[in-house]
Structure formats: C-alpha cells, structure tokens
A and B are shown apart, each in its own frame.
Chain A
Amino acid sequence: MQIDEEVAKLLQLKAQLGGDDGKHQFVLKTAKGTRDYNPKQMAIREKVFNTIIGCFKRHGAETIDTPVFELKETLTGKYGEDSKLIYDLKDQGGELLSLRYDLTVPFARYLAMNKITNIKRYHIAKVYRRDNPAMTRGRYREFYQCDFDIAGQYDAMIPDAECLKIVHEILSELDLGDFRIKVNDRRILDGMFAVCGVPDDKFRTICSTVDKLDKLPWEEVKKEMVNEKGLSEEAADQIGEYVSMQGGMDLAERLLQDQKMSQSKQACAGLSDIKLLFSYLQLFQVTDKASAEKVRTTEVQVMVASAQKNLLEEKLKLITELWNAGIKAEVMYKKNPKLLSQLQHCEESGIPLVAILGEQELKDGVVKLRVVATREEVQLIHNTHTVSLLAHGRMT
C-alpha cells in the first residue's frame, strides 16, 4: 500500500512536470480523505436516506439545495479557528470561492437572500473539511450532513420539542440500538458559570473545557480549568457539582429552587424552558425511551363486505371506486358470503376496516364503515363522499 502511494505520488509529480501529457496517466486514487460509494454502499445509503427523509416529510418539512461552493467571504469569519479547514478554490481570475464547510451558513445566506422569515427545511448534502482524516475512525474530508431546521418566530419550545421528536423517530426507525438524547441550555450554562464565580470573559473558554467531559474524566477537566484557564479551585468545584447532574423535568424544578442557581435570571429562564420542553416531550411520547413503541407505516386495507345476500354487484362497484382511488381493498370471491366469515377474514389478515353494505343502507344511500378491532362504526353517505373521504390526502 505504501508502495502504491509512493508510485502515485511520483506519477503525480511526473504529471505536473510533464504538463498536459494526455496519454496513459495511471492515477488510480481518489483524493485524500474521500472515497467512492460502491453499489452495496449506495443501496444502504438509499435505505437510510429514505427513512430519514420520510421522517422529515412526515413533519412537514420542505427541502432546498445550495451550490457546493460559496463566495469565499460568505464563509469567512463564521467558523472561528476551524476556518483553516476550509477548502478554497484556486483563483482563476474570477470570484474567490470556497467549498461549503457545513449546511447552516448556506442556509442563513439563503434565508437572508430570499427574505424568508419562516421555513421548516431539511437539507442533505456533502460538505468539505480539510481535516486530518483518520479514516479508520471514519473521518473523511468529504462527508454527508443531514440537517433539519425550523426558522421563524413561534411560541416557545414547540419547534424545539419537534426537533427532538424527529431525532427520536429517526434513531428509532434506523434501529441502531439504544440511544439517549442529552439536553441542556446555553443560558443555564452561562448562568451556572456566573453563580459559580467564573469571570464573564472566561465563559466561552470554560465552556469548551466542560465540553470535554464526554471524553475526559472530571479530574482532568478540572485540572484544565484551574491550571490552564486560570479558574479558582473553588469555582471549579462548584461547577463540578452541577455538571454531574442529570435528570428530567424534576431536575429542572429542583434547580429552580436551588439557592445558588436561582440567583441567575438567565439560568431561571433556561430552566423554565427546559420544563416547558419536557412537558411537550411527554406529549410527544419521547421522554421515556421505552415508551416510544411505534407502529410502523402499514399497508392499510378496507374489506368490502355484505350483510345480506345478492349484494355482490354493489360490492364490486364499491371496490372498484376504492381501487380507482388507490385504496387497497379486498372482497371475498363468493357471491353470498356470511358476514361472520368476512369479519373473521379481516381479523385473520389484520385488515383494520370493513365497509359493510346492507339492503337498508343501500336504500338510504349510506355505507357503514367499521373498525374491525373495536366494532365502532361510522356511517358514510355513499357517493363521491365515501371515496373522497377515504381517498383524500393521497399524493397524486
């Protein structure tokens, strides 16, 4: 492999020296940090995208796309120290361009450019970072990002809760195993730093250190805070007490009562919003991972049945209307089946609904629609209504 790499480098050099040679250039490599997707990988990718996009669409999101490169200055000054990881395009006499680093800055540009104030959008596309790729750890320089964002002024925490609901749905559907979604709030963090005695100008840098807790033990994190960032040991200890806390709405409640924390208006605002968030998450059934037992998208069918004899013709007419409207429907291949058999067939096949035609109903011009499992019924006027009510909402 090293020989291959060396050969490739030498050939590359030769090509540069040789100019536009044109003949047999044997460069059989993708650029560093990038890779092809073979058909198997594409098949997996397609499934994953379908699941994810299905979820986004279920939540009413639209999608947009933006160019792979932006004007260099659109990206300038947005990524802090990471700016050095941006791929620039060569200056070939036109505008200075750079490959997009994420999908969020292009999104912001798109909103501003089109003066959009409200949108719920997803965007799945590749982004580019001149990282030091550790391919064994799955880090590439060209990789997909899959973003979902809700922009606009709305009542507090509802869109925020929907984002979490979406993450929950996606991770569940992808069947990746157990997962946890950790939630916090910038205002709570800042408020916590304040009441623990962290100087204002150290908030961001202490925040980065706290961020390392997902990889380092507390002792090392504390060491960095005190030795490198110049925090007092007392302040660090106070932070240490808070950052070990995890919980649900109850934790938010407790912290609102906490003598120290409650001194920060900022923290209190954040905590109230966390409570509100959790109340919505409860309604969305995502607070307890175990309770999110989901019914998959199923093939729903309607059994077209009859309560008396000699109704085959009517059943066939009705089923044709249903089929024409794209509804999956069945009828028994029997001129005069017993109602009970038809209902039994529904139970055995898992057909959820049965449309029952009967002589009286035909006279009244209605169809009875029954939920098989519970027997509750709705009477529908049999005309275009039946079908339009049954069929409406389909994407044509």
Chain B
Amino acid sequence: MFCIRACSGLVGCRTATRVRSLHSLPGITVAQIDEEVAKLLQLKAQLGGDDGKHQFVLKTAKGTRDYNPKQMAIREKVFNTIIGCFKRHGAETIDTPVFELKETLTGKYGEDSKLIYDLKDQGGELLSLRYDLTVPFARYLAMNKITNIKRYHIAKVYRRDNPAMTRGRYREFYQCDFDIAGQYDAMIPDAECLKIVHEILSELDLGDFRIKVNDRRILDGMFAVCGVPDDKFRTICSTVDKLDKLPWEEVKKEMVNEKGLSEEAADQIGEYVSMQGGMDLAERLLQDQKMSQSKQACAGLSDIKLLFSYLQLFQVTDKVVFDLSLARGLDYYTGIIYEAVLTQAGVAPVTTDAQNGAPSEESVSVGSVAGGGRYDGLVGMFDPKGRKVPCVGVSIGIERVFSIMEQKAEASAEKVRTTEVQVMVASAQKNLLEEKLKLITELWNAGIKAEVMYKKNPKLLSQLQHCEESGIPLVAILGEQELKDGVVKLRVVATREEVQLIHNTHTVSLITVSTKV
C-alpha cells in the first residue's frame, strides 16, 4: 500500500508539471499529447513494476516501425524481383541469428561500434544485435571452413542511430547483400556483382541510375603521390567521401583546416577527384606522370580496365562510371568499390551525417541505392590460422527502394492489393451459408484463393462492396433459383459480366481457368 501511494504520488507530481507545461504550449497537437501520454505511461510502468493489468503502450520502439499489409505487398514484390535476379545468377542463401556474441562484432566497425545494440547481461553470454550482414558472413565462412560460395542474404540489421524518420532513417532496417567469396581470376566476380546491380535497378524500374566505380588502391596511390602522409590516408579518405554531399571548397577546407593537409596536396587531390570516365580514364591515368609512380594505383587502374572490358561483354557500361571522387567509408575494402545512385530527384533524399573522421558505414548519399566492393582481408580476421578468403559483394539499399515504391504506389491510381483472393463466394439470399461453405471448400481444394463472409446471412451488396474494396476480381453468386437449377453465377466484379456455370466439378475447372491458377 505504502509503496503504491508513493509511486502514484511521484507520477502525479510529474504528471501535474508536465500537463501544466503542455497546456501552456500554444497549438499543441494531438500527436504531441499522445507522445507525452505514452511517455508518462512508460514511466508509470517502470515505477509500478510487473503490474500485469492493461498496460498497452501504443508505440513501437524509437527508430522502428510496423509494416502494414500494403507495405508488405510492396515489399514482397521488391524481394521477388531481387531474389529472382540473385537466383538467376546462381546464388544460394543463408540465414544467421539476429544477435551474435558481442566479441564477434567487437573491433569490426571502428567508430560506429558505439551504434551497436547490446543485449542486457542476464547471466549468460554477452550478446549484441547484428550491425550488418557482412561480419556474420565472414564468421559463417570461417566457422564452416568455406572457401567458395556465392550467397545472398536478406535480413534486418540494427543500429542505434539518431533516426531522422522523416528522412527514412531507421534503427531497424533491411539489408540485402550479395557476395561472392573465393579465389578466382581477377575481376570476373567483381564484374558480375555490377551486372547484378544493373539488372536489379533496371527491373525495379526506379528511373535512371549510375554506378560509380573506384578502387581503394587507386585512392591510396593517389593520396601517396599527392603527398598525403600515410597515417592520414583513412581520415583524408573520409573527407573525400563527403564530396557527394558537399562542394569541393568545403571538402578542401576540411582537409586543410581540420585534417592538417597542405594546401598543395589538397589541390592536387582536387584535380584528380574531379575526374570521371570509363576505360579511357583508366588508360589516361596509367600514363599520368604522377599517378603512374604509384605501383598500387597502377594495379588498381589495370583492374579497372579489365573490369570495364568485362562490363562491356555484360552490356552494362552505359550506366557505369569510373569516378575518382568515390571513397566509401568502410575500413575493410581492399580493392574495387562502387556505389549506385538514382539520377532522378523527386523523392525525399536519404542523407547521412558522416561523423568527422569516422569511416561511416555505407554512407548513403542523396539518391544512393546500393554500394559495395572487394574486401579480401575480413574473413582472415576470423580464421584462427588467418586463412584469407577473398570476397566481393554488394548491399542493396532496400529501405530506400521500399520508400520509392511506396511513393510511386501512392501517386499512381492503381490500388495495391493486400490479399490475392481471386474469387469471393457470395449469396443472393438468406440461409445459403452451408452451400457457400461447400463451394468454397471445392475452390480451396483446387488451389483457388477464395473468401467467404463470416456471416450467416450477409447482404449481397455488402459482399460486392467487400470485393471492390479488396480488389477481388471474381464473385461466385449462389442463389436459390440457381441452386435448384444446379448452376452458379460467376461475375466479373469490375464489369458485371456474368457467366452461368453448371455447378458440379465443372464449376471448379472453369473457375480455375478463369483464375489461371
């Protein structure tokens, strides 16, 4: 008793203060009130302990959201397209647990490690929610001593970001990864990854896109010949990475003022990073007096040439650009890197606040929908003998794709169906439930997707209305006269055209054809 009184007193105090301050706010919205109420209830629940009664906090966790049926329907279509492409290229799939041992993830993400969700120490192993699908993949390869695999993995990952929900950034979001692991002849698997990105983006019909390509060795070589000290490579790289969002002047300023680079070095870098092209650019740079001094850069440039020759055969050079300003954040890339961007504006841009100096994971710039590269050293970090398994892969920014598709669906007149029902089984008079249930059973037995109203005597109009709302194309109408005659009326909802079918096994075959099962 004492405890409860004290608790509610406490809540009451804070409630009073809160409510007063809310009242004093002009133009308070219902949404804000809801949020405050939710917070107070949460506090109350914490104070009240395992109350057990009707505690229903009507909120999802910050940075997470439910998917409603419309969104799920869109999501299913997108996954089918993407998975279809992966399968077409002969990939298998795996799945890993949502949490890993904390130390599996430790030391893999640099500064981003602070964004990892940890599980509470409840007396067992220390666990963390997976941050991406690449580290679990490396662990899987090492654990199972796999040296060759072509795999895709579509699953949610978790980051304690500061979500900017209006900008589509969540703490729980899907990643869609495709990776080829194994020692192969140079650039063939790398080229196939790009071919896959090209296929997927084309099939998803998101508008025009470009795939920017660069190479970690070219970047490092470029920094070297421009006079960047070795120990500043990574931090200068992060700064260059900002070129997709900031103009050169600001990027240069950061290099010189914040990172301590000489202005001369910055200018030299400036010349290079403005270069874009195809195989021709790689050729030119191999002849470039300065660049050619770096063995590393030359190796990268030769591989870019080789890559483009394969891309030509794959017929995807139209959208691929060798872009020296591309500098993806992740530490673990060792060779080619790439990023796909949509060239059309018109959708809410998803931006990232790349922390200063931090190799921010998968910097998603305006319009970016996919990214990846070659990472030859990661699996070796997991293998007890340090055995290397070279890998190249790509991650599709699927949440971005969902967003775009949702907006398209919104904008178009076409309705997104959330069910796939083909036939509504309806009745024109009362007391026909039994007959309807018999008919629907025949339809289900034949694999036809069908529904019936959970009502003994529904009105025909309500049943027809349900068809229109759900987008059900056909309705099989039972009526007393028809039953006597042994027929079923099959009507096309949209046009009202009708066919009378003799009700026997026919009905099912004919309806099956109509629905093209």
A positions within 8 Å CB-CB of B: 11-12, 15-16, 20-32, 34-39, 42-43, 45, 57-71, 73-74, 76-77, 83, 87-92, 94-97, 99, 108-110, 112-114, 121, 126, 128, 130, 142, 150, 152, 154-155, 158-159, 162, 165, 169, 280, 283-285, 294-298, 300, 302, 325-328, 352-353, 369, 371, 373-374, 376, 378, 380, 385, 388-395
Contact = CB atoms under 8 A, between A and B. Distances in A.
A283 B438 contact: yes
A135 B69 CA distance: 35
Nearest to A90: B118
A284 B64 contact: no
Given A73-B55, A158-B454, A283-B434, A88 B513 contact: no
A38 B144 contact: yes
B287 interface: no
B451 A59 contact: yes
B72 A63 contact: yes
B51 A76 contact: yes
Nearest to B471: A395
B160 interface: yes
B56 A71 contact: no
Interface in B44-85: 45-46, 50-53, 55-62, 64-69, 72-73, 75
Contacts of A302: 513
B446 to A, nearest CB: 5
Interface string B16-54: 000000000000000000000000011001100011110
B94 A38 contact: yes
Nearest to A388: B492
Contacts of B504: 374, 376
A66 B60 contact: yes
A53 to B, nearest CB: 10
Contact of B65 (A15, A67, A73, A280): A67
A371 B423 contact: no
Contacts of A298: 446-447, 512, 517
9 contacts: A12-B125, A36-B94, A57-B419, A57-B420, A64-B66, A297-B446, A297-B517, A302-B513, A376-B506
Contact of B125 (A31, A126, A169): A31
A391 B516 contact: yes
A330 B69 CA distance: 38
A15 B113 CA distance: 15
Nearest to A98: B120
Given A22-B107, A92-B118, A58 B444 contact: yes
A77 B445 contact: no
A331 B18 CA distance: 77
A30 B69 contact: no
Given A20-B107, A36-B140, A71 B59 contact: yes
B499 A90 contact: no
Interface string B105-138: 0111000010001111110111101000000000
Contacts of B61: 67, 69-71, 95, 97
A289 B437 CA distance: 18
B274 interface: no
Contacts of B10: none
Contacts of A25: 103-104, 106-107, 381-382
Contacts of B121: 90
Contact of A31 (B73, B97, B490, B501): B97
Given A36-B140, A371-B505, 16 more contacts: A21-B106, A21-B107, A27-B101, A31-B97, A31-B100, A58-B450, A67-B66, A73-B55, A77-B52, A92-B160, A300-B516, A352-B513, A353-B509, A378-B501, A389-B490, A392-B514
B495 to A, nearest CB: 7
A83 B517 CA distance: 46
Contacts of A63: 69, 72
A300 B513 contact: yes
A141 to B, nearest CB: 9
B506 A15 contact: no
A327 B382 CA distance: 53
B400 interface: no
Contacts of B50: 76-77, 83
Interface string B461-505: 000000000100110000000000000001010010101111011
Contact of A393 (B42, B59, B64, B473): B473
A385 B67 CA distance: 38
Interface string B276-298: 00000000000000000000000
A94 B160 contact: yes
A128 B124 CA distance: 15
Contacts of B93: 39, 42
A325 to B, nearest CB: 8
B454 A155 contact: yes
A381 to B, nearest CB: 9
A28 B180 CA distance: 21
Q: Count chain A CB atoms within 10 A of each CB in B53, B108, B514 and give the residue with the most.
A: B514
B473 A392 contact: yes
Q: Count chain B CB atoms within 10 A of each CB in A42, A300, A390 and give the residue with the most.
A: A300
A83 B68 CA distance: 28
Contacts of A300: 509, 512-513, 516-517
Interface string B391-426: 000000000000000000000000001111111000
Given A64-B67, A96-B46, A108-B56, A32 B125 contact: yes
Contacts of B100: 30-31
A57 B140 CA distance: 34
Contacts of A34: 97, 99
A89 B499 contact: no
A392 to B, nearest CB: 5
B8 interface: no
B229 interface: no
Contacts of A128: 98
A378 B107 CA distance: 72
A31 B513 contact: no
Q: Count chain B CB atoms within 10 A of each CB in A15, A71, A327 and give the residue with the most.
A: A71
B57 A73 contact: yes
A89 B97 contact: no
B510 interface: yes
A76 B42 CA distance: 11
B376 interface: no
A44 to B, nearest CB: 12
Given A302-B513, A369-B510, A88 B119 contact: yes
Contacts of A68: 98, 129, 156, 158, 172
A90 B126 CA distance: 10
A392 B492 contact: yes
A73 B445 contact: no
Q: Count chain B CB atoms within 10 A of each CB in A28, A34, A395 and give the residue with the most.
A: A28
A121 B69 contact: yes
B36 to A, nearest CB: 15
B317 to A, nearest CB: 32
A15 B492 contact: no
A307 B446 CA distance: 30
Contacts of A325: 516
B264 interface: no
B515 interface: yes
A395 B470 CA distance: 13
Contact of A61 (B53, B97, B419, B513): B419
A114 B70 CA distance: 14
Contacts of B499: 378, 380, 389
A15 B103 contact: yes
A19 B119 CA distance: 17
Nearest to A91: B120
B117 A92 contact: yes
B95 A391 contact: no
B450 to A, nearest CB: 7
A146 B94 CA distance: 19
Contacts of B500: 378
Given A69-B61, A71-B61, A390-B513, A88 B120 contact: yes
A64 B451 contact: no
Given A11-B103, A20-B113, A68-B98, A76 B66 contact: no
